[in-house]
Amino acid sequence: MTNPIAVRTNASESAKIPGAAEGGNFARQWLLFPLCAVLALAILFPAPAMAQDYRVETVATGLEKPWSIAFLPDGRMLVTEHPGRLRVIENGRLVDEPVAGVPPVFNSGQAGLFEVLPAQDFADSGVLYLSFAHGTDDANHTRIVRAVFDGRSLSEVEPVFTTTPAKSGDAHAGGRMLWMPDGTLLLSLGDGFFFREEPQKLDSHMGSIVRINADGSVPQDNPFVGRDGALPEIYSYGHRHVQGLVLVDGQLYAHEHGPRGGDEINLIRPGRNYGWPVITYGRDYSRALISPFTEREGMEQPLWQWTPSIAPAGLAFYDAGLFPQWRGSLLVAALAEESLRRVELVDGVPGRQEVLLAELGQRMRDVRVGPDGAVYLVTDEDAGRLLRLVPAGAGEG
Ligand SMILES: [Ca+2]
């Protein structure tokens, strides 16, 4: 175990899921039917990428639990470190001094500094958004602040959104952010791990995706505006722990952690209920049944579910030119599987999958496509790395 703290709170994030053993039994049964076996294995155990597909470059090392990656219009990059630091990569190298002025975060287990997201008008305004766990172990919230970044420090830091109610503990706080095409901002949240009933409640932000305006106000076309007892920021609900958001052709995709099994990719629509914990394809970490149901009227089915869990963290869509064979794919960083999953979308639905980077044996926390068309990842390690994937034949970056 590389992360004893996370083991306590979320086995799917940290445990080596015993997929190989389960797969072996499954495969032996199918080998009675050789053709079926070949087909099943091809689907269930996608082959690692050919070694010549890509080359892995290390952009930066010594990042403590790096969590998210952002690109600035002038070519600089930003990386958050989970304990509460914001780092700058300038001219291809990590600036020694962390950015000053980052607000204090609740740093424990899965709680900490989450994402950095440049404002859509960053080139003019210099405004960044940060998401993080705020408060104490007894009472904490997921918070978004905005601040002006001058290249070395933050100023004019002001909260724009804070979840309600407060929760205890350091697990499942969400933290992924995304700009929608209309200029509204999404934030993904979790069920706090110990508060499984919250995602079905509309008077709690826990287990939802919320949508706010850039100044923190509520968009009046949010699905629950005006409904008694409902929080107006809620955009979708019934989520366990959403750790990836991305737009593809104007459609919103999210992935979320199941418990033991049942990690999901969902197509997110406003006002919809994604089912947790009433329906799930996973079981509890004790293997106990959480629910006998995998579907129910009024609740959305995932587009895809992973059992055993891969623990998805970070989500991108590849549509660049550097890897033409990857175009049209979701890229999913995985913690438990220690991989990058490439998930082909066919008519908007997950199809063939490919497991990349398994040869590194490292938990992957975030994945992004750079403006250069390369794929960037951070490894979830105490001495984490920022990686850049380029085609194997490409010149040194
Ligand atoms: Ca679900």
- Write the pLDDT tens digit of every residue in 208-257: 999 999 999 999 999 999 999 999 999 999 999 999 999 999 999 999 99
Per the annotation, the verdict on 255 as an active-site residue is no
User: What mean pLDDT is predicted for residues 142-171?
Assistant: 97
Q: Quickly state the pLDDT bin for 394 (edges 50, 70, 90).
A: confident
Do 233 and 217 contact (CB within 8 A), yes or no? no
Cα 329 to averaged position of ligand 1 atoms, centre (Å) = 22
User: What mean pLDDT is predicted for residues 348-364?
Assistant: 97
Q: Quickly state the pLDDT bin for 396 (edges 50, 70, 90).
A: low
Cα 211 to averaged position of ligand 1 atoms, centre (Å) = 19
Cα 17 to averaged position of ligand 1 atoms, centre (Å) = 20
Q: How far is residue 327's CA from residue 53's CA, in Å, rounded to a whole number?
A: 14
Supply the mean pLDDT for the chain.
89
What Å distances lie between residue 83 and 7, 80, 114, 335, 348, CA to CA?
18, 9, 9, 18, 36
* Closest CA relative to residue 208, chosen from 241, 166, 247, 257: 241
Q: Check whether 202 has a pLDDT greater than 90.
A: yes
Active-site hit among 134, 172, 239, 257: 172
What Å distances lie between residue 390 and 10, 130, 373, CA to CA?
33, 29, 8
Cα 266 to averaged position of ligand 1 atoms, centre (Å) = 8
Q: What is the pLDDT of residue 3?
A: 34
Instruction: Look up residue 271 and give its two tokens.
Output: 């006002």
Cα 246 to averaged position of ligand 1 atoms, centre (Å) = 17
Do 360 and 378 contact (CB within 8 A), yes or no? no
Cα 388 to averaged position of ligand 1 atoms, centre (Å) = 32
Q: Which amino acid is at 230?
A: A
Residue of 330 and 11 predicted with greater confidence: 330
Q: Check whether 322 has a pLDDT greater than 60.
A: yes
Do 55 and 391 contact (CB within 8 A), yes or no? yes
Q: Check whether 31 has a pLDDT greater than 80.
A: no
Q: How far is residue 79's CA from residue 81's CA, in Å, rounded to a whole number?
A: 7
Q: Check whether 200 has a pLDDT greater than 80.
A: yes
Helix and strand counts by DSSP (H, E) for the chain: 5, 24
Q: How far is residue 102's CA from residue 117's CA, in Å, rounded to a whole number?
A: 14
User: What mean pLDDT is predicted for residues 380-397?
Assistant: 88
User: What mean pLDDT is predicted for residues 165-177?
Assistant: 96
Element (DSSP H or E) covering residue 159: strand 154-162
The mean-pLDDT minimum among 43-52, 57-66, 294-303, 388-397 falls in 43-52
Cα 268 to averaged position of ligand 1 atoms, centre (Å) = 11
Q: Check whether 26 has a pLDDT greater than 50.
A: no
Which residues neighbour 247 within 8 Å (Cβ) at sequence distance 6 or greater? 178, 180, 181, 253, 317
Cα 265 to averaged position of ligand 1 atoms, centre (Å) = 8
Q: How far is residue 244's CA from residue 66's CA, in Å, rounded to a whole number?
A: 15
Q: What is the pLDDT of residue 364?
A: 98
Q: Check whether 41 has a pLDDT greater than 70.
A: no
Cα 109 to averaged position of ligand 1 atoms, centre (Å) = 24
Q: What percent of the chain has pLDDT over 90?
A: 85
What 8-state DSSP symbol labels residue 49? Answer: P
Instruction: Look up residue 325 and give its two tokens.
Output: 């064979």
Q: Which amino acid is at 344?
A: E
Q: How far is residue 59's CA from residue 304's CA, in Å, rounded to a whole number?
A: 32
Do 78 and 87 contact (CB within 8 A), yes or no? yes
CA angle 276, 315, 371 (to 5 degrees): 160
Do 234 and 312 contact (CB within 8 A), yes or no? no
Q: What is the pLDDT of residue 22?
A: 30
- Is the four-CA dihedral 232, 235, 241, 243 of positive or negative sign? negative
User: What mean pLDDT is predicted for residues 337-347?
Assistant: 98
Q: Quickly state the pLDDT bin for 36 (edges 50, 70, 90).
A: very low
User: What mean pLDDT is predicted for residues 314-318?
Assistant: 98
